[in-house]
């Protein structure tokens, strides 16, 4: 069986109309996210925007997924925490703040019990800055520097960036005001530089090709910065991996978060 991962920005820790930030991890929306993940049965889950989550919250979710291993980056540069759960043993983990607006989790997994033709896999979960494109480029380069040489690796998360592979779905006049400051370059053209920086490091965008696979907006309209259909959630892999990624859009995921989940398959 292939190794499967799900990457998901869950919006402010699961906050909904019935909870406050401190109780968001126990919200009904988190329960529905948990049910979705249980049904999907991924081997690894990367979650961003785990605001107010504790290791106990993440461990409880991991247990429901039959994942014996989890790691939560509690000390991020912002309240937007990052977590990873896995059915594979986590051999080493780094929580990296330096060089990032939020942070990055770098986990090396023992996948020797899978059908993969490699025994270790590095998974990096991250959430890039929502501000200037130039800052995202620096974060992208920093991500590539975090990868150990000689091991297959996947970088995944909310990249807050656009890809030239989707250029036919974007036009500069789609992005005005704050959206323009986020997604346009200094000449007023749509900026693709962060994704291009990762690809220049030899990483492969697993979601490119085929029809436009947007990950925002959803039916849960809570973020004004999702004012156009955009692919913001990505998985990048080292070249030796036979892999693909697709956004999961359906009547269930429409309402789980302000992002759709990204499903990644490593053959």
Ranges of each domain in the chain: 3-266
Q: What's the pTM?
A: 0.96
Rounded mean pLDDT, 113-136: 96
- CA atoms of 164 and 65, how far apart (whole Å): 35
Please give the pLDDT value at position 160: 98
pLDDT at 110 over 80: yes
pLDDT at 137 over 90: yes
Please give the pLDDT value at position 171: 95
Average pLDDT, the chain: 96
Please give the pLDDT value at position 242: 85
pLDDT at 186 over 90: yes
- CA atoms of 166 and 109, how far apart (whole Å): 32
pLDDT at 227 over 90: no
**Which residue bears the tokens 């049965």?**
41
Q: Which two tokens mark 255?
A: 């309402």
Please give the pLDDT value at position 240: 92
**Which residue bears the tokens 């200037």?**
132
Give 224's pLDDT tier (boundaries 50, 70, 90). confident
**Chain centre distance of CA 231:** 11
pLDDT at 2 over 80: yes
pLDDT at 267 over 80: no
CB burial of residue 251 (10 Å; 0-12, 13-18, 19+): exposed
User: Distances in Å between the alpha carbon of 42 and those of 34, 137, 185, 228?
Assistant: 12, 30, 37, 29
Rounded mean pLDDT, 167-171: 96
Rounded mean pLDDT, 20-37: 98
CB burial of residue 60 (10 Å; 0-12, 13-18, 19+): middle
Give 194's pLDDT tier (boundaries 50, 70, 90). very high
pLDDT at 254 over 80: yes
DSSP letter (8 states) at residue 21: G
Give 78's pLDDT tier (boundaries 50, 70, 90). very high
Please give the pLDDT value at position 13: 98
Give 1's pLDDT tier (boundaries 50, 70, 90). confident
Rounded mean pLDDT, 114-120: 94
Please give the pLDDT value at position 101: 97
Please give the pLDDT value at position 222: 83
Q: Is 3-266 CATH 3.50.50.60?
A: no
pLDDT at 148 over 90: yes
Count how many residues are written for the chain.
Answer: 267
pLDDT at 245 over 80: yes
């Amino acid at each position: 069986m292939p190794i499967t991962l799900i990457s998901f920005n869950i919006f402010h820790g699961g906050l909904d109309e019935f909870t406050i930030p401190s109780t968001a991890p126990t919200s009904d929306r988190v329960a529905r996210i948990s049910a979705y993940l249980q049904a999907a049965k991924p081997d690894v889950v990367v979650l961003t925007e785990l605001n107010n989550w504790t290791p106990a919250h993440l461990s409880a979710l991991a247990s429901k997924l039959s994942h014996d291993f989890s790691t939560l980056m509690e000390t991020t540069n912002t309240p937007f925490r990052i977590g990873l759960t896995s059915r594979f043993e986590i051999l080493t983990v780094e929580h990296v703040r330096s060089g990032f607006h939020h942070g990055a989790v770098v986990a090396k997994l023992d996948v020797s019990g899978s059908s993969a033709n490699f025994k270790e896999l590095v998974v990096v979960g991250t959430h890039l800055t929502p501000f200037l494109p130039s800052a995202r480029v620096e974060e992208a380069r920093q991500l590539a520097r975090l990868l150990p040489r000689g091991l297959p690796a996947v970088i995944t998360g909310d990249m807050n960036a656009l890809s030239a592979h989707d250029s036919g779905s974007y036009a500069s006049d789609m992005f005005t005001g704050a959206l323009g400051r986020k997604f346009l370059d200094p000449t007023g053209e749509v900026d693709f530089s962060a994704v291009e920086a990762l690809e220049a490091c030899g990483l492969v965008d697993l979601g490119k090709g085929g029809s436009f696979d947007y990950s925002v907006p959803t039916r849960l309209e809570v973020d004004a910065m999702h004012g156009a259909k955009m692919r913001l959630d990505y998985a990048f892999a080292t070249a030796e991996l036979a892999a693909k990624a697709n956004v999961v859009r359906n009547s269930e995921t429409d309402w789980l978060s302000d992002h759709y989940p990204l499903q990644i398959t490593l053959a």
